[in-house]
Structure 1
Amino acid sequence: MTIPTRYPIGTLGEPWDEDARNQWRARQERQRGYDADIVSRIRALAEHYDEIAYGQLDYGDDAYALYALRSRAFDPKLPAALVTGGVHGYETSGVMGVLDFLETRAARYAGKVNLLAVPCVSPWAYERVSRWNHDAIDPNRSFHANSPAREAAALMALVGTTQAGFLLHIDLHETTDSDEREFRPALAARDGKAFEPGEVPDGFYLVDDSANPQPAFQQAVIAAVAQVTHIAPPDAKGEIIGSPIVAQGVIAYPLAELGLCTSITGARYTTITEVYPDSPRTTPEECVRAQVAALCAGLDYAIAHP
């Protein structure tokens, strides 16, 4: 993997101005279709779930309707579970994992939990295989009051309308070689900082909430996923992406403090999944299966330990 010494946009040491953001935006070419890949599958699932259009993004000439799917027999006496993918649009197995779960496994949870599923939070970024949205903002650092990311604001508004308490929120992500090759160098350039290369973990790991740790829940998910794909080992410092491991395949962040998606429900059980699709030890299909396994294990544990 080749790591750039300097990102080709902006002035070294200075945060981006609007001209630099426009230069970055011009580099983001559409590579795949939100309607064809995702909306078509959501429409097919609407035979079994309530389809909710919870917002629209208008970015120049591009408009994207935002969709969620909700259990049709939504029982306010049952707890709710939120599953999200595509907060970072380029993280493909997160999007496909939510859709595969709904198509193949979700029916078994009918009558046990109210499901609210958002397969693709950031469709503009999905089409361009990008981490950021159209405004060069990372939605997954923007889940807070007065969010500058329209994707984050729309999802928070949707969650606020749900008439049930949330027991669980699982947010599906990937860590890829492009993090080091493109996205972290771009972040450093955007903010006028020096880029310091890191290490991409080879395998699956989870991010717990350091303000609400749930170690048994996290380990139940890890145990299930280990039957599908390999778990990321710590690096020589005992860390994964710069954070100390708290258990096998688990690190912890202060979710609300960082404005991460899994902070928005107040659920007892939350986790962020991370797979490494660029590993020679896995395949894109296996990564999707790992995401589905994580969702099922998380739901099974939460329902058994409400």
Structure 2
Amino acid sequence: MTLPPYPIGTPGQPWGPAEVAAWRARVVRQRSYADDVLAALEPLRQAFDISEYGALVYDGERFPLLAVRSRGWRDDLPTLVITGGVHGYETSGVHGALQFLSDHGTETAGQANLLAVPCVSPWAYERVQRWNPDALDPNRNFRPHSPAGESAALVALLAPLHGRTRLHIDLHETTDSDEGEFRPALAARDGEAFVPDTVPDGFYLVDDADRPQPAFQQAVIEAVARVTHIAPPDAHGLIIGCPLQSPGVISYAVTRKGLCAAITAARFSTTTEVYPDSPRTTPQQCLDAQVAAVRAAIAYALSAPD
């Protein structure tokens, strides 16, 4: 079947500034970062230290970037990092991180330092988008001097923790809009042909192919399986075109591709992928799956011998 071309750009030609501007003009605000995230963080100030680690200004609008730290930070304790909302449209990543902080964030007090950034990409969160306003994917740009402001700010925040972090878990979703909008837009932006794929029905994890941690990944999968279903492979034995390391876990070049979970070079790291469009789950189950993944990852990381 021949698919219609993406409505912006000329097939086979990468986008220039005019096409990026045309794409940005189609994007509309659908929700409020201030109401959904900043307001939700206010009650947490009673138990955590919350600070602004940067700000993004787009079209005259300022988005403060906030980090949540456990109170009584000690350099002799292991450090745990949680990130969400790298892709703004992945709702349970943001609200799963907030739910974890609210319900379980102080459980490791005195045992570990906790640093959480619930919403890395606030402009994209408001517009339910994968990219930032410059049509850049933050999750391919986590490196120093990144062209994506969201990525550069987070890299700078976490730089002092590089090589000193016990755990980094990055909370994501895979949605039907990946195939319906975001992957077609990516192909058009890069002047490439769009090749359709299937959307996995269920939760899965992304491990770093260059630093595999199979026992850790499986401990997280086992915990999440008690909350929601785990994605099976497609007819080719793959999930989103990647080989399975084990049931519910794929291997991907996380570090080489500049993905968020690699920023800290943590001893244990993973990227969660929730599927909110499944008829077999609910929005609350998606949040609960993210929380279960975080708690299981923390339990494993803190129980591992030094």
Give the TM interval when normalised to the shorter protein: over 0.9
2:57 is the counterpart of 1:58: yes
For 1:255 and 1:46, locate their aligned partners in 2 and report how far apart those are by CA, in whole Å.
33
1:277 aligned partner: 276
Q: What does residue range 88-167 of structure 1 map to in structure 2 within 5 Å?
A: 88-162=87-161, 165-167=164-166
For 1:244 and 1:163, locate their aligned partners in 2 and report how far apart those are by CA, in whole Å.
28
Q: Quote the offset at 1:253 in angstroms.
A: 1.1
1:202 aligned partner: 201
Q: Quote the offset at 1:4 in angstroms.
A: 5.2
Equivalent residue letter for 1:34:
Y
DSSP-derived class of the 1:251 partner? strand
Equivalent residue letter for 2:267:
R
Q: What does residue range 61-76 of structure 1 map to in structure 2 within 5 Å?
A: 61-76=60-75
TM-score, structure 1 normalization: 0.97
2:20 aligned partner: 21
- Tell me, which stretches of 5 or more residues in structure 2 are unaligned? none
The answer to whether the 8 A contact 2:163-2:264 is kept is no
Q: Quote the offset at 1:236 in angstroms.
A: 0.9
For 1:160 and 1:69, locate their aligned partners in 2 and report how far apart those are by CA, in whole Å.
16
The answer to whether the 8 A contact 2:163-2:266 is kept is no
- Tell me, which stretches of 5 or more residues in structure 1 are unaligned? none
For 1:23 and 1:15, locate their aligned partners in 2 and report how far apart those are by CA, in whole Å.
14
Post-superposition Cα deviations, 1:86-129, rounded to whole Å, max 9, x if no partner, equal 00000000000000000001211111110000000000000000
Equivalent residue letter for 2:42:
R
For 2:11 and 2:161, locate their aligned partners in 1 and report how far apart those are by CA, in whole Å.
45
Q: Quote the offset at 1:254 in angstroms.
A: 1.6
The answer to whether the 8 A contact 1:82-1:116 is kept is yes
For 2:269 and 2:99, locate their aligned partners in 1 and report how far apart those are by CA, in whole Å.
20
The answer to whether the 8 A contact 1:225-1:290 is kept is yes
2:165 is the counterpart of 1:177: no
Equivalent residue letter for 1:142:
N
Q: Quote the offset at 1:163 in angstroms.
A: 9.4
2:246 is the counterpart of 1:240: no
Equivalent residue letter for 2:177:
S
Q: Quote the offset at 1:164 in angstroms.
A: 8.7
Q: Quote the offset at 1:189 in angstroms.
A: 0.3
For 1:177 and 1:53, locate their aligned partners in 2 and report how far apart those are by CA, in whole Å.
33
Post-superposition Cα deviations, 1:57-100, rounded to whole Å, max 9, x if no partner, equal 01112210000100111011001011000000000000000000
For 2:197 and 2:67, locate their aligned partners in 1 and report how far apart those are by CA, in whole Å.
35
Q: Quote the offset at 1:145 in angstroms.
A: 2.9
1:40 aligned partner: 39
The answer to whether the 8 A contact 2:162-2:264 is kept is no
Q: Quote the offset at 1:5 in angstroms.
A: 2.6
Equivalent residue letter for 2:34:
D
1:218 aligned partner: 217
Equivalent residue letter for 1:175:
T
Equivalent residue letter for 1:101:
F
1:31 aligned partner: 30
1:80 aligned partner: 79
Q: How many pairs does the alignment contain?
A: 305
Equivalent residue letter for 1:13:
G
| Identity percentage of aligned residues | 60
Post-superposition Cα deviations, 1:207-229, rounded to whole Å, max 9, x if no partner, equal 01111111110000000000000
For 2:62 and 2:138, locate their aligned partners in 1 and report how far apart those are by CA, in whole Å.
17
Equivalent residue letter for 2:29:
R
For 1:272 and 1:5, locate their aligned partners in 2 and report how far apart those are by CA, in whole Å.
32
DSSP-derived class of the 2:77 partner? coil
For 2:161 and 2:66, locate their aligned partners in 1 and report how far apart those are by CA, in whole Å.
15
DSSP-derived class of the 2:245 partner? coil
2:186 aligned partner: 187
